[in-house]
Amino acid sequence: MLSYALYLLILLHIFPTAAAATPEAYTATDFILLNCGASSNLNDPSGRSWDTDERSRYAPSNAATISIPSKATNQHHSVSQIPYETARVFTSPFTYTFPVLTGPKFLRLYFYPNIYSNFTTTLSFFSVTANNFTLLSNFSAFLNSPSSSNPSFMKEFIIYVLDNQMLYLTFTPNTNSFAFINGIEIVSIPDKLYFRGNDVRIKLVDKMLRLSYLKNDTALENLYRLNVGGSNVEIQDDSGQIRGMFRAWYQDDVYINGPDVSYMPHAEDVHINYTAQTPPYSAPEIVYKTSRGMGNESGLDWRFPVDSGFYYLLRLHFCEVLLEITEPNQRVFTIYINDLPAEIQADVIAWTGGPEIPICKDYIAYVPPNDGRRGKKDLRLSLFPNLQGLPMYTNAMLNGLEIFKLSDSNRSLAAMNPEPVITSSPTAVAAPSPEKTKSKKSSVIYVVIGSVTAALAAVAAVSFLIFRQRVKDSVSSYSRTSGSRVPLPSDLCRHLLLEEIKSATDNFDDNFVIGKGGFGNVYKGFVPDASGSGSTTVAIKRLNPSSNQGAREFLTEIEMLSKLRHLHLVSLIGYCDENGEMILVYDYMAHGTLCDHLYNSENLPLPWKQRLGICIGAAKGLHYLHSGTKCAIIHRDVKSTNILLDEKWVAKVSDFGLSKAGPTGGDHTHVTTLVKGSFGYVDPEYYMRQQLTDKSDVYSFGVVLFEVLCARPAIIHSLPREQVNLAEWAKTCYGKGTIEQIIDSNLEGQIAPESLSKFVETAIRCLRDKGIERPTMTNIVWSLEFAMQLQEAYENRGGHVEADGGISFVGVGTSFPLLDSGSKSSGLSTSSSDQKVMSEDVFSELMNPLGR
């Protein structure tokens, strides 16, 4: 396996640093702007001059007989006049011919659905081809309009024009329909900007992680071009040249999925050092000077609606501009596309050789159809910190993003129009037949058919616009509207009135707050019993009203906990979902979290036997989730802050917002899902493969065991690199036989050597790299209970502390002495009779599953 240093050298060889001479910006060699249907040349707000296509050399000689120039009947105030005020309407196939130079071109088509000379675009369906590529088919500009408040839009394609070839652009109306276009823009682009041919291999993100190439026999359609973490970049700001490529870059806010993502400040004093590999025309400086980073431990996650059944090119733009990050391995993260790993160790400094040097990384991903049918589907991009090499900063970042659809094997980019949803709607104005020679009867039939079709088209458009708006909403699938209810039996989980919650918390007074988390504040309160005869002390967890996140976790928590009852699981009493509120009500845990009694707290340190008892209780709760329910449940966020302690110090596992149903058995050995959890606790195997099993909880629980033993957090960034990650540090110390050096000093003289040996052995096995080698929760419960028996037997024998006051250790070699392999306590596996006893012991603690 390559050493990390050698790995960096290879990266630096592949991605050399800035060239000695700064590469020049790009100036377009072909630059054509057609204001279709206009009577004269005009300038747009950016200062660009648009030529009329009337009698132009680009239009066919019979243009006057097969097309009509027209002006929009109703110009919306938000729509720019140039090039949207006029259009050319085609009643027959119409081909523009553009004599351009060899090479790739941006082809931009501008549409404004309106009424043009009594041609109502609700009835317009047509196809567009360019040099034997199908760009649009059965296309309705009206149905694809982005919104009613800003109905105009542009579609951008990239076409490579071969030697001795012109660019032919053909509009073909459907039968009994017509086509139209408001504006056409053609701008040449650098040869190797997107079509890199055999010079650059691109990762094909699938389960095999193959390599691919992007050659000029493919057409592209740009769907997203984003200035991540920054503001919109207008076309005139895309390039410093008078004739640049005029790309608009938009904000990414509406596509981000996840809480507390942060903007990196605009680095005003930073100089972007472009290179030969990433020249100035790759993206404007403002894209590289702004970025989005993580605001908490959830990573970065975007969702982009795209057409399924196509391959997509994702170009990620990076530039490290934070002053404190100047060397490799300071910020390392993993890139996932469609929940598959595209880059395991993304390290911008290692790629570029230094800060303030931009780089583009390309990936190709396929979005499969839904049940064999093409339609809209989310393309997901996710970035998570990679802590395997113990980087200095736990973060991920992205500066810019471009997403292109690639033409399929039929040389087509065409996708379906949004499916119409038929509801009542006012009848739209129908377009008359473009052929004046038709009989009156035919005209009447056409108008009637057209009216019905227009009505359906209008309804479809309204439905589509609603759908698009919902996609842009960052709120999750649960609709937080007044009066919305989660359908759950009242005997399992009470639905509490908001008035009851407000009364219990004095209208959410800060004096009632007992904790804060990613979901929101937690309040202590008193709610009436279900019988109404008394009151119950409860913990009330309220989603921050200003947040759009957490709704999915809210539903998951209710669905999970309303069906689970166990001594070592926190009990859900009820919930409230009125007036946009999402509130969960639990049994009150008097002693808070396990974490509260280990570190960063004024609480007295827990004695060893109490810590061990808490670990046994938590293990039993997890064992019940994995084995005691009809379908195994994987918690997915096991950590010391999610283990609560009641007034009798009984441990209860809590927070099921990230829980997932486990594999069903047989060939289903895991659940493939996006990585969720907390840094320092996430199973490395799950992190790398996105294959979730119950052994992922086992790994997290192993970290908790060392938290209990060492009284320190799972991650401490201020420590030396080898000590940052508790799990890795504990394994290192175990291998060296120096575990005693990291044990909580408050435990001196309390731990029996044999008990310590069994406890550490159990924790180490939980942290094994391969899940299959880790113990089950059944084994863990048995081992911890055996460690308790060893502790009690030691104390009963009059075990004592050595004179120097330290813990009496009997370590031999590089680890603690394990018991004889032939004895009952030799490992974490048990005989069938042992397992039977264990099962009965655990399940004897099941509570009555009925509600209170």
Amino acid at 766: C
Which H or E element spans position 94?
strand 94-98
From CA 363, how far away is CA 312, in angstroms rounded?
8
State the pairing for strand pair 520-528/535-543.
antiparallel
* CA 68/CA 54 separation, integer angstroms: 10
Quick one: how far is CA 683 from the chain centroid?
Answer: 19
**Where do the DSSP E strands lie in 616-740?**
633-634, 643-645, 651-653, 660-661, 671-672, 691-692
| The pairing of beta strand 291-293 with beta strand 397-398 | antiparallel
**Pairwise CA distance, residues 284 & 234, whole Å:** 11
Tell me whether residue 438 is exposed, middle or buried, using C-beta atoms within 10 angstroms of its C-beta: 0 to 12, 13 to 18, 19 or more.
Answer: middle
Helix (H) / strand (E) containing 185: strand 183-188
Gap between the Cα atoms of 193 and 736, Å rounded: 52
Q: Could you tell me how far CA 446 lies from the centroid of its own chain?
A: 48
Burial (CB < 10 A; 0-12, 13-18, 19+), residue 483, is exposed
Each residue of 632-666: b (16+ CB within 10 Å) or e?
Answer: bbbbbbbbbbbbbbbeeeebbbbbbbbbbebbeee
Look up residue 750 and give its amino acid: Q
Chain centroid to Cα 673, Å, comes to 11
How many residues does this entry show for the chain? 852
Question: For the purposes of burial, counting CB atoms within 10 Å of the CB of 435, is it exposed (0-12), middle (13-18) or buried (19 or more)?
Answer: exposed
In the numeric block, the tokens 């009984």 are attached to: 650
Catalytic annotation, pick one of 238, 252, 577, 637: 637
Under 8 Å between Cβ of 499 and 583: no
End-to-end CA distance of the chain: give it in Å, rounded. Answer: 58
Exposed e or buried b per residue across 815-824, where buried means at least 16 C-beta atoms within 10 angstroms of its C-beta: bbeebeeeee
Within 8 A by CB and 6+ apart from 25, the residues are 239, 240, 241, 244, 279, 280, 281
376 is in an annotated binding site: no
Active site (annotated) includes residue 206: no
CB 14 within 8 A of CB 49: no
Q: Within 13 Å, how many C-alpha atoms sit on residue 318's CB side?
A: 25
Asked if residue 408 lies in contact with residue 129, where contact means CB atoms within 8 angstroms, the answer is no
* Annotated binding-site positions for ATP: 541
Catalytic residues: 637
* Annotated binding-site positions: 541
